[in-house]
A and B are shown apart, each in its own frame.
Chain A
């Protein structure tokens, strides 16, 4: 196959080259050289984006598995496989991100041996580890089907109920525990974001983002692979997203109301600007959009609403991880370009792997794949790489 240099491929290669340079700096010059993290700001972009957002964005897996296998919503069957693939890749890349962020990544396995049951981080680590294993088994049938290995598929189907229940249990635990991580910093995290309800908010937003990400990725891959959009699927997801957003919004309001912060959040301040941005993207725009039936029936507008939701909750996580600490610390934290480049590299690798898997594995269902075959070979590459720049 001849390698053609398209614009997106060039961008992909540039991102990879910069990322590899930064990785070199990270492992041979140390964390201080590669990042703007300091003793005052020990957690930077990598924790805020790669870890908090990475796990949140991979929530589509457990949401769709829960909807289809647990609640038996047959309509959504078509999106389970891409959602599980996204989740599996998301968690793998989260672990890769961790290998960059940990000061002593070569001792990451200590989690399994020196366990401290009081630590939220231990719980998150353990859940992520087990859940990635569960996701591996949920993803494995794709590979087995590709090679037509029926016997192991039967075995996996036998343990499917266990995998499903374990997967959702573990997701509930660690999605919420990522919020619990911040419970120990009442004097440091800004009151806009520090609340005893953090674990509930993290779980609630993970469900909303899971739905939004599923809309986003099925629209995006439909575009990329020239497939028909499953409109009934999108409409169902859009309705569910609206409900999830309302629940989230009401809980947030309740929280601010009970803690007597309603006046502060409308008073302009550095934190308030970021909070407004977050609340606009997470609640105001998508809830307003989705309240119209026209929007819920239009794939294009649903796509926009889901992007707004995803960006909004990314802002939320970054506010908690970075902005919320700036007042306590007394200065701003701006990630170094090398930090950005490693994050970008991880995202680019994620999109590339998704493209490869979508191309070679029966992710999108056999019949559709055959129909799209003639256009697939070229479209897949460009499409995959086109995401890399997002």
Chain B
């Protein structure tokens, strides 16, 4: 498969997408129509002004919705019956069809040169790695409590209740905190673009919402990549390991790591050899807790610190006032000498 020239329909500046969005933490859900402008705005400056105007209007509306949702339904997305991917490295034959299907699904170029690349990048969301005739896939782990979503200042990344961690490009300001924060270093950046986007596997959210499998799972000829309910897949992974203990390391990578992920890996080899961080290194604590411990104190800290600062101000200035009043009494005339100018 090679990079086909963009079709006429894709070259249009605007594309409308109907998106069935689940009620999340920051949105009230429902069917939303999203008008994209596909090309970078600098490439068609003509559209920049109206597009930005639309953008602003949408943003305001969404802010209001979010405020309502935030106040009325203050709860995170319930992650029950969420979808997940189980990757069984022992069943993988390294055919790289998942890479091709992923590229097609996400409109990315894919040819022999791209297939030979062994790192995830802005144009390659998933990679099949080979080491000693054993294979391993790398893709976004879709953490249950994703670091990227918690650090994004504008909430451009969020965990859907179905499982995928998705990216709203129209919100992104390009701070790249998600890339720094991700314990698996998954998000990649379009460094050469003038209006760059963060790129990562989003677990085919439109397919998942429609009740279909992800593109990689659908195409996998051996079932090494399996899509399903997370709970079912955990059970299956445990069964596979217990039925064939000599074939696997007794560990499901992603079951507990950083509070659990929606991508589960089982293999005979050590996942660290393929660039995954060691389980001990990343730990079982969900990443957002590290900053959450500090952030949750701020609402209490603000009134307390204001009170302390205000108190200090009052005390130190009261001393002056008293001094002035005493001086007035002493001198017996109305006009006291001012000791302070400001």
Binding site for B on A (CB under 8 A): 27-33, 37-40, 42-43, 69-72, 74, 77, 101-108, 110-111, 113-123, 125, 157, 160-161, 164-165, 168-169, 172-173, 177, 180-181, 183-188, 196, 199
Q: Does B277 contact A (CB under 8 A)?
A: yes
Which of chain B's residues 59-106 have a Cβ closer than 8 Å to chain A? 59-60, 62-63, 66
With A71-B316, A103-B189, A183-B294 as known contacts, state yes or no: A42 contacts B63, CB within 8 Å.
Answer: no
Task: Check B176–A103 contact: CB distance below 8 A.
Answer: yes
Given the complex of chains A and B, what is the CA–CA distance between A231 and B316 in angstroms?
24
Q: Does B335 contact A (CB under 8 A)?
A: no
- Which residues from chain A contact B341 at a C-beta distance below 8 Å? 77
Task: Check B309–A169 contact: CB distance below 8 A.
Answer: yes
Q: Does B156 contact A (CB under 8 A)?
A: yes
Binding site for A on B (CB under 8 A): 26, 41, 52, 59-60, 62-63, 66, 121-122, 147, 150-156, 171-177, 179-181, 183, 185, 188-189, 191-196, 277, 281-283, 287-288, 290-295, 298, 301-302, 305-306, 309-310, 312-313, 316-317, 319-320, 339-342
With A27-B194, A169-B309 as known contacts, state yes or no: A110 contacts B171, CB within 8 Å.
Answer: yes
- Which residues from chain A contact B66 at a C-beta distance below 8 Å? 114-115
Given the complex of chains A and B, what is the CA–CA distance between A169 and B310 in angstroms?
10
Given the complex of chains A and B, what is the CA–CA distance between A31 and B198 in angstroms?
13
With contacts defined as CB atoms under 8 Å apart, how many contacts are there between chain A and chain B in the complex? 183
- Which residues from chain A contact B122 at a C-beta distance below 8 Å? 39
Measured between C-beta atoms, what is the minimum distance from A127 to chain B in Å? 10
- Which residues from chain A contact B309 at a C-beta distance below 8 Å? 70, 164-165, 168-169
Candidates B62, B173, B191, B291; contact of A38 at CB < 8 Å: B191
Candidates B63, B153, B185, B316; contact of A122 at CB < 8 Å: B153
Candidates B154, B171, B174, B312; contact of A70 at CB < 8 Å: B312
Given the complex of chains A and B, what is the CA–CA distance between A115 and B288 in angstroms?
16
Task: Check B290–A184 contact: CB distance below 8 A.
Answer: yes
Task: Check B291–A31 contact: CB distance below 8 A.
Answer: no
Given the complex of chains A and B, what is the CA–CA distance between A237 and B173 in angstroms?
40
Given the complex of chains A and B, what is the CA–CA distance between A70 and B59 in angstroms?
40
Task: Check A111–B191 contact: CB distance below 8 A.
Answer: no
Candidates B147, B185, B191, B288; contact of A32 at CB < 8 Å: B191
With A39-B188, A113-B59, A183-B294 as known contacts, state yes or no: A165 contacts B310, CB within 8 Å.
Answer: yes
Task: Check A103–B342 contact: CB distance below 8 A.
Answer: no
